[in-house]
């Protein structure tokens, strides 16, 4: 093999691997990303059912109902509420009036069926998406929380 | 008073780093030995002051001096001493102080143990290291100062976030920082080489032990963090593709690539540009990780404090150092000489392929981590990129890498014999294929990737063993001769094989845990039982216990297998009064390398307890594999050859030692 | 004084680190870079001896490494060190250390540090005899005791009224809840919890508080405190007639020397429904009552504010407390006091720009500046 050929092989291999990586990234980005929505978006029907999404807001006061393993609650941005059902164990910091992010799909009848419930590690910390959603609905005042 | 001493020590360290950043550089240009020597003495003294500063902060924590705002905000007089100690770095300010302390430590190590380095290179490395140090001292002093005081100190502190009150926190951040900051040394070496314009095989040899050390710390640090998340968060998961985890994975991938490409540079004087780029990249990614974690631009389950001004400051540091080093690079790159040639199929080719895949994998993680940020900035859409994305991109890139891994060490430099290597790997391949068949049969022919994953893991491990067998010739020549050869084998060869074996071990753990993890969520009343796999768990009762700064509801479970009581598991819920927070403590039963994992949910009104139980086969292998990798690194590090060049007091004539 | 001495010693050590190598005129032999290539040559020899590489490869590799060795040896010759050169640079460096180091370090430290503030380790502060200690430190000790002895419900019962008096209403609620959980349900404990909840809710009987009083009444239908607050709840719901009836019954059944009877009578009066009379109040009555109420309310508020001000001395880091205090002074019309409190707050929170900003915002909003 000449020097030129060797170089071509190497460059070819490099391009091949990079191309593979690029194809994988693009493919995965199309299929596996999850959009973040506020309760208002969902309640106003901006979201197609059966599409995975993340919903963020506050757990509405007085809305948590537990029935064995099934937990039902409403996520609110102060404007609109979305009923959520979840089967399993919620994080320690899951509380009424606290920020929460749930991931799952919108089921029939407007009930959001979550398979993941995220609350933050720190009681002072508000998930940024939640803070933004609340800001949009005018329920958030700068400096009221969100950071320590 | 102690706090003020610490504060002043920090300011002095900044002053010293400014001198250290200029004088040795001038000395190296003018050939002035004394000015170059100044780099070493200031680096050592700078470390002394950084250490004094950190010690002062720790002392304030131990004495619960709430006149220091940082102590007031992150500790409590009731905490056990060990957590008073660790809370010193369980917060933003303290952890940044630890960051510069480790940076100064590396500087001092180069100053103290870098006697094998040419004087100009050493001076330049220390100068670059000092610039990084100065940038971070300024960052700490002006945006994240841990020594700010409260005029009228309160009587009780706000306590440390309970989730951080764990022994894992004592070890995980320092190790991770050792790794992160260790990358700074490779960066300083690269920048110094570019400043000097001398980039050759010797440089690769000089930088190798430092990269290796950083890589080991990073490996163990990531593994520790993963295990901590596994048992402390109570979700049974060990990797969440969380931005903060990705931030530590990216430098690891870059450092792993750097380790391999530096070998090519050392042996064959090739891949010089690429190696330098990797050294710059590894540290840039470390900085990026620090930026992501500290600025809070990305939402993460780890983020415990965030502040935009800090983010901007770190971003500025990031831009200056990456931009500066790339400019240096552009200036010097044309002057680089062509290195040794090699055929595509050769040791060099295999290492290059390894680099390609590692760099691509690193790039996909990078994209997945930052894409949400870019998209939000461009379109305002908020998205999250979760585990599915990374599994879809990362795994397909790692499979060919792992398949090719056993071939690399068996190929000769310059021009290798792929067919010959394949022949020698037959045994390992046979083991892998047999594993695939056995698992397929055991699984009842159900279609999944698990058997192939197991097969691949065994192939990788077999490949590492084959490598050693080939080098010692244990299958071809008499045992005594092979043993003599084994003794003569450089430790780095053992290290390579061991590290590669560790990769296989980790893969085995990952595949087994992912595929055969069994999970049950049930609601139990006292004396009710639940079975999972072969284990029967009986919920006995709930008892209350008192910890030093928390109260604990402990649920007791008797674990039986075949009617025999194995152990009593005691998962609990801890409530911390000061912060009004509750944490879940999982209970683990280790059997061999598999684990039974019990964590608690809520208690219903009727006394029923929601319990989450997992059986995780071979799960411990994930972290054991990482330890084996690090052990391989340690073995390599102890190789005599890495210290070559150190001026020996006498007997300098042994040209080719008769071993 | 000791502090400044320590500072100057540290500065001297730092300067020493710079000046020492300069004065020593360090020289010493530079490292031999060719050694690495010699080692590589040796390794090729070993590999050849073990038959790990062939004769031809070994030869090619030797040629390559030898070429590098020669290049390295050439480079080394060029860059011999000049131990005695450039005295000027050393002088500049030494001068920089002597002048710049203390200047930079001192400047930045004086900008950021608090040299006049003594340390305050907790142990030393707790060693002060009890009678000289502030209420806050006693409370914190009691808290520590309670934290350590979780089963001790009595501790919480002692702490709860103290909290209430200190204005730490949320802590009072927590203490009452713990007492209730640890010592068991009684009508008294339920009612005490309700009372704390009312205090925490700025005097409003919330749903939760009402539930607590209902709980107390379920255990003891005659419980006076619970009945009083149930009456208050009715009043706040606008059901004045029912509130009056509740309180009236309470009064009628009260033993003649009940210490709380006055309070109930007062409450009844405030309902502006004269006790025992069914006819509506005259305009004058209402005016008198409301005047009375104004004065009394101010009295009450003043007491609370004084307690809050005392508390802020112990806990100067509490932003919400400061905001409340400034607002309270303004409500009382004591604008000078409010301004003084704002100044105190800014001093106490000086290190936290965000919090100081909040104080400034409030001052502006209240028109104090």
Q: Which residues of A touch B396 (CB under 8 A)?
A: 20, 24
Q: Which of B95-99, B146-150, B358-362, C91-95 has the lowest mean pLDDT?
A: C91-95
Chains that touch B (3 or more CB pairs under 8 A): A, C
- Residues C196, C249 within the same domain: yes
Q: How far, in whole angstroms, is CA A48 from its chain's centroid? A: 15
- Residues A12, A57 within the same domain: no
SS3 A73: strand
Of these ranges, A112-121, C215-224, C250-259, the one predicted with the greatest mean pLDDT is C215-224
Q: State whether B11 and C75 contact (CB < 8 Å).
A: no
Any CB–CB contact under 8 A between C357 and chain A?
yes
- Residues C266, C174 within the same domain: yes
- Residues A80, A69 within the same domain: yes
pLDDT, residue B300, reads 44
Q: Which residues of A touch C354 (CB under 8 A)?
A: 143, 147
Among A123, A124, A141, A143, the residue to mutate for chain C (most C Cβ within 10 A): A143
pLDDT, residue B111, reads 93
Percent helix, strand and coil across chain C, each to the nearest 5: 75, 0, 25
Q: Which residue among B12, B35, B577 places its CB closest to the CB of C93?
A: B35
Q: Let me know how long chain C is.
A: 369
Reported as type and span, the H/E element at residue A72 is strand A70-76
Domain boundary (C211, C242, C272) is at C272
The per-residue b/e assignment along B295-321, b for 16 or more CB within 10 angstroms, e otherwise, is: bbbbbbbbbbbbbeebbebbeebbeeb
Q: What is the CATH number of the domain that holds A104?
A: 2.40.50.140
Q: Which of B642-646, C31-35, C44-48 has the lowest mean pLDDT?
A: B642-646
Q: State whether B37 and C82 contact (CB < 8 Å).
A: no
- Residues C267, C304 within the same domain: no
- Residues A44, A57 within the same domain: yes
Among C5, C52, C64, the residue to mutate for chain B (most B Cβ within 10 A): C64
Mean pLDDT, range B282-294, rounded to an integer: 83
Tens of pLDDT, residues C272-302: 644 444 334 444 444 444 444 455 555 656 7
The residue of chain B nearest to residue A125, with distances taken between CA atoms, is B304
Residue A123 to residue B72: CA distance in whole angstroms: 17
Choice between B539 and A116, residue whose per-residue pLDDT is larger: B539
pLDDT, residue B464, reads 95
pLDDT, residue A120, reads 58
- Residues A25, A42 within the same domain: no
pLDDT, residue A122, reads 47
pLDDT above 90 covers what percent of chain B? 45
Any CB–CB contact under 8 A between C320 and chain A?
no
Is residue A42 domain-resident? yes
- Residues C173, C234 within the same domain: yes
Does the pLDDT value for residue C27 go beyond 60?
no
pLDDT, residue B486, reads 83
Residue-by-residue DSSP string for B169-233: HHHHHHHHHHHHHHHHHHHHHHHHHHHHT--SHHHHHHHHHHHHHHHHHHHHHHHHHHHHHHHHS
The residue of chain B nearest to residue A24, with distances taken between CA atoms, is B393
Band of pLDDT at residue C25, cut at 50, 70 and 90:
low
Any CB–CB contact under 8 A between A107 and chain B?
no
Mean pLDDT, range C190-211, rounded to an integer: 83
Is residue C279 domain-resident? no
Average pLDDT, chain A: 76
Number of domains within chain C:
2
Residue B570 to residue C241: CA distance in whole angstroms: 56
Q: At what angle do helices B272-295 and B308-332 cross, to 10 degrees?
A: 170
Number of domains within chain A:
2
Does the pLDDT value for residue B658 go beyond 50?
no
Q: Domain of residue C358: give its range.
A: 293-365
Residue B423 to residue C182: CA distance in whole angstroms: 74
Choice between B51 and A147, residue whose per-residue pLDDT is larger: B51
Does the pLDDT value for residue B649 go beyond 50?
no
Q: Which residues of C touch B45 (CB under 8 A)?
A: 13-14, 16-17
Does the pLDDT value for residue B359 go beyond 90?
yes
pLDDT, residue C261, reads 76
Tens of pLDDT, residues B152-198: 777 777 777 777 777 777 788 888 888 989 999 999 999 999 998 88
Q: Where are the domains of chain B?
A: 425-516+621-630, 518-616
Q: Which of B48-57, B77-86, C116-125 has the lowest mean pLDDT?
A: C116-125
Does the pLDDT value for residue C131 go beyond 70?
no
- Residues A28, A39 within the same domain: no
Chains that touch C (3 or more CB pairs under 8 A): A, B
Any CB–CB contact under 8 A between A115 and chain B?
no
Q: State whether B40 and C21 contact (CB < 8 Å).
A: yes
- Residues C170, C208 within the same domain: yes
Distance from the A54 Cα atom to the nearest Cα atom in chain C, whole angstroms: 31
SS3 C194: helix
- Residues A20, A90 within the same domain: no
Distance from the C20 Cα atom to the nearest Cα atom in chain A, whole angstroms: 46
- Residues A28, A96 within the same domain: no
pLDDT, residue B220, reads 94
Q: What is the CATH number of the domain that holds C224?
A: 1.25.40.10
Among A121, A131, A132, A143, the residue to mutate for chain B (most B Cβ within 10 A): A121
- Residues A8, A58 within the same domain: no
- Residues C245, C303 within the same domain: no
Tens of pLDDT, residues C70-118: 888 777 666 555 555 567 777 888 888 888 899 999 999 999 988 888 8
Choice between A68 and A81, residue whose per-residue pLDDT is larger: A81
Q: State whether B363 and A122 contact (CB < 8 Å).
A: no
- Residues C205, C236 within the same domain: yes
Is residue A143 domain-resident? no
Chains that touch A (3 or more CB pairs under 8 A): B, C
Among B382, B523, B573, the residue to mutate for chain A (most A Cβ within 10 A): B382
pLDDT, residue B275, reads 92
Q: Which of B123-132, C29-38, C102-111 has the lowest mean pLDDT?
A: C29-38
Q: State whether C314 and B152 contact (CB < 8 Å).
A: yes
- Residues C245, C305 within the same domain: no
- Residues C155, C245 within the same domain: yes
- Residues A22, A77 within the same domain: no
Instruction: Answer for the pair B619, B212: CB distance below 8 angstroms, yes or no.
Output: no
Instruction: Answer for the pair A109, A50: CB distance below 8 angstroms, yes or no.
Output: no
Q: Domain of residue A22: give its range.
A: 1-33
pLDDT, residue C299, reads 62
- Residues A122, A56 within the same domain: yes
pLDDT, residue C133, reads 60
Residue C198 to residue C208: CA distance in whole angstroms: 9
Question: What's the angle, vertex CA A10, arms to CA A9 and CA A16, rounded to 5?
Answer: 85
Is residue A148 domain-resident? no
Residue B173 to residue C152: CA distance in whole angstroms: 38
Domain boundary (C206, C240, C272) is at C272
- Residues A59, A90 within the same domain: yes
Is residue C202 domain-resident? yes
Of these ranges, A102-111, B205-214, C226-235, the one predicted with the greatest mean pLDDT is B205-214
The residue of chain B nearest to residue A10, with distances taken between CA atoms, is B344
- Residues A117, A51 within the same domain: yes
Q: Which of B447-451, C61-65, C362-366 has the lowest mean pLDDT?
A: C362-366
Q: Which two tokens stand for residue B598?
A: 């019990």
């Amino acid at each position: 093999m000449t020097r030129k050929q060797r170089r071509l092989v190497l460059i070819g291999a490099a391009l091949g691997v990079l191309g593979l990586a690029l194809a994988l990234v693009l493919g995965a980005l199309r299929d596996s990303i999850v959009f973040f929505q506020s309760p208002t978006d969902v309640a106003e029907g901006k979201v197609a059912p059966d599409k995975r999404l993340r919903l963020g807001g506050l757990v509405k006061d007085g809305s948590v109902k537990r029935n064995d393993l099934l937990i039902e609650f409403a996520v609110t941005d102060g404007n609109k509420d979305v009923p959520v059902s979840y089967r399993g164990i919620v994080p320690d910091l899951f509380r009424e009036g606290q920020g929460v992010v749930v991931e799952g799909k919108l089921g029939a009848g407007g009930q959001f069926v979550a398979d993941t419930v995220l609350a933050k590690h720190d009681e002072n910390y508000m998930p940024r998406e939640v803070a933004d959603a609340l800001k949009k609905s005018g329920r958030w005042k700068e400096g009221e929380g969100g950071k320590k | 008073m102690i706090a003020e001493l610490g504060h002043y020590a920090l300011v002095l360290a900044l002053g010293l780093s400014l001198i250290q950043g200029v004088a040795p550089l001038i000395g190296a240009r003018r050939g002035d030995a004394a000015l170059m020597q100044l780099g070493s003495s200031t680096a050592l003294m700078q470390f002394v002051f950084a250490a004094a500063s950190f010690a002062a902060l720790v002392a304030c924590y131990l004495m619960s001096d709430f006149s220091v705002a940082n102590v007031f905000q992150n500790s409590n007089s009731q905490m056990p001493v060990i957590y008073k100690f660790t809370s010193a770095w369980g917060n933003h300010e303290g952890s940044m102080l630890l960051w510069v302390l480790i940076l100064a430590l590396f500087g001092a190590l180069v100053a103290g143990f870098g006697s094998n380095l040419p004087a100009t290179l050493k001076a330049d490395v220390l100068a670059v290291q000092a610039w990084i140090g100065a940038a971070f001292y300024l960052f700490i002093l002006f945006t994240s100062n841990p020594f700010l005081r409260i005029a009228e100190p309160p009587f009780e502190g706000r306590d440390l976030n309970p989730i951080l009150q764990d022994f894992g926190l004592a070890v995980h951040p320092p190790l991770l920082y050792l790794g992160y900051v260790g990358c700074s040394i490779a960066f300083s070496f690269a920048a110094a080489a570019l400043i000097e314009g001398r980039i050759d095989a010797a440089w690769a040899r000089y930088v190798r032990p430092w990269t290796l050390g950083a890589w080991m710390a990073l490996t163990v640090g990531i593994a520790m963090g993963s295990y901590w998340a596994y048992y402390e968060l109570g979700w049974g998961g060990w990797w969440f593709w969380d931005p903060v985890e990705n931030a530590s994975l990216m430098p690891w991938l870059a450092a792993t690539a750097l380790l391999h490409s530096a070998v090519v540079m050392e042996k064959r004087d090739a891949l010089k540009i690429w190696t330098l780029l990797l050294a710059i990249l590894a540290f840039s990614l470390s900085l990026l990780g620090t930026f992501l974690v500290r600025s809070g631009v990305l939402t993460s389950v780890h983020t415990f404090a965030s502040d935009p001004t800090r983010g901007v400051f770190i971003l500025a540091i990031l831009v200056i150092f990456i931009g500066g080093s790339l400019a240096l690079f552009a200036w010097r790159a044309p002057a680089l000489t062509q290195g040794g040639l090699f055929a595509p199929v050769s040791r060099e080719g295999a290492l290059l392929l390894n680099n390609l895949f590692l760099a691509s994998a690193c790039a996909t993680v990078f994209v997945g981590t930052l894409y949400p940020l870019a998209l939000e900035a461009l379109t305002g859409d908020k998205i999250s990129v979760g585990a599915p994305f990374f599994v879809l991109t990362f795994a397909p890139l790692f499979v060919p890498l792992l398949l090719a891994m056993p071939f690399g060490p068996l190929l000769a430099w310059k021009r290798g014999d792929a067919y010959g290597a394949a022949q020698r790997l037959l045994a390992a391949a046979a083991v892998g294929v047999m594993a695939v068949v056995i698992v397929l049969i055991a699984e009842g022919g159900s279609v999944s990737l698990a058997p192939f994953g197991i097969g691949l893991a065994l192939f990788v491990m077999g490949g590492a063993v084959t490598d050693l067998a080939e080098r010692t010739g244990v299958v071809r020549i008499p045992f005594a001769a092979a043993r003599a050869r084994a003794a003569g084998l450089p430790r780095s060869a053992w290290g390579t094989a061991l590290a590669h074996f560790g990769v296989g071990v980790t893969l085995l753990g990952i595949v087994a845990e992912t595929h055969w993890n069994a999970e049950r969520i049930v609601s139990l009343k006292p004396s009710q039982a639940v079975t999972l796999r072969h284990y029967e768990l009986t919920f006995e009762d709930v008892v209350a216990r008192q910890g030093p700064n928390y109260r604990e509801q402990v649920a007791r479970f008797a674990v039986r297998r075949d009617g025999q009581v194995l152990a009593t598991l005691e998962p609990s819920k801890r409530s911390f009064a000061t912060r009004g927070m509750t944490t879940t403590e999982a209970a683990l039963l280790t059997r061999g390398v598999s684990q039974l994992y019990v964590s608690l949910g809520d208690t219903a009104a009727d006394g029923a307890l929601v319990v989450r139980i997992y059986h995780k086969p071979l799960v411990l292998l994930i972290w054991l594999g990482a330890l084996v990798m690090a052990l391989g690194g340690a073995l390599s590090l102890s190789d005599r050859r890495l210290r070559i060049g150190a001026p020996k007091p006498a007997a300098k004539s042994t040209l080719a030692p008769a071993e | 004084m000791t502090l400044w001495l320590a500072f100057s010693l540290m500065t001297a050590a730092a300067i020493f680190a710079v000046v020492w190598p300069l004065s020593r005129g360090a020289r010493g032999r530079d490292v031999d870079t060719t050694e690495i290539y010699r080692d590589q040559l040796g390794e090729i020899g070993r590999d050849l001896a073990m038959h790990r590489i062939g004769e031809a490869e070994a030869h090619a590799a030797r040629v390559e490494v030898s070429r590098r060795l020669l290049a390295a040896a050439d480079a080394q010759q060029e860059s011999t060190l000049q131990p005695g050169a450039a005295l000027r640079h050393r002088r500049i460096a030494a001068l920089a250390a002597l002048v710049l180091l203390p200047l930079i370090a001192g400047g930045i430290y004086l900008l950021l540090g608090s040299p006049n503030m003594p340390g305050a380790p907790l142990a030393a502060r707790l060693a002060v005899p009890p009678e000289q200690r502030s209420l806050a430190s006693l409370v914190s000790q009691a808290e520590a005791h309670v934290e350590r002895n979780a089963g001790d419900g009595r501790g919480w019962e002692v702490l709860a009224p103290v909290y209430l008096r200190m204005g730490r209403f949320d802590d009072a609620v927590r203490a009452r809840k713990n007492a209730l959980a640890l010592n068991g349900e009684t009508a008294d404990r339920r009612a005490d919890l309700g009372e704390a909840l009312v205090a925490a809710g700025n005097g409003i009987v919330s749903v939760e508080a009402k539930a607590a009083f209902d709980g107390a009444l379920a255990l003891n239908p005659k419980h006076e405190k619970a009945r009083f607050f149930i009456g208050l709840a009715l009043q706040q719901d606008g059901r004045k007639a029912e509130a009056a009836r509740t309180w009236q019954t309470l009064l009628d059944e009260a033993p003649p020397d009940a210490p709380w009877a006055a309070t109930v009578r007062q409450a009844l009066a405030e309902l502006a429904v004269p006790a025992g009379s069914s006819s509506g109040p005259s305009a004058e009555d209402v005016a008198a009552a409301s005047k009375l109420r104004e004065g009394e309310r101010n009295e009450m508020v003043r007491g609370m504010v004084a307690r809050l001000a005392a508390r802020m001395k112990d806990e100067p880091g509490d932003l919400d407390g400061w905001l409340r205090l400034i607002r309270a002074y303004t409500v009382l019309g004591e604008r000078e006091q409010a301004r003084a409190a704002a100044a105190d707050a800014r001093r106490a929170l000086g290190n936290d720009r965000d919090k100081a900003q909040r104080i400034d915002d409030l001052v502006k909003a209240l028109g104090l500046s």
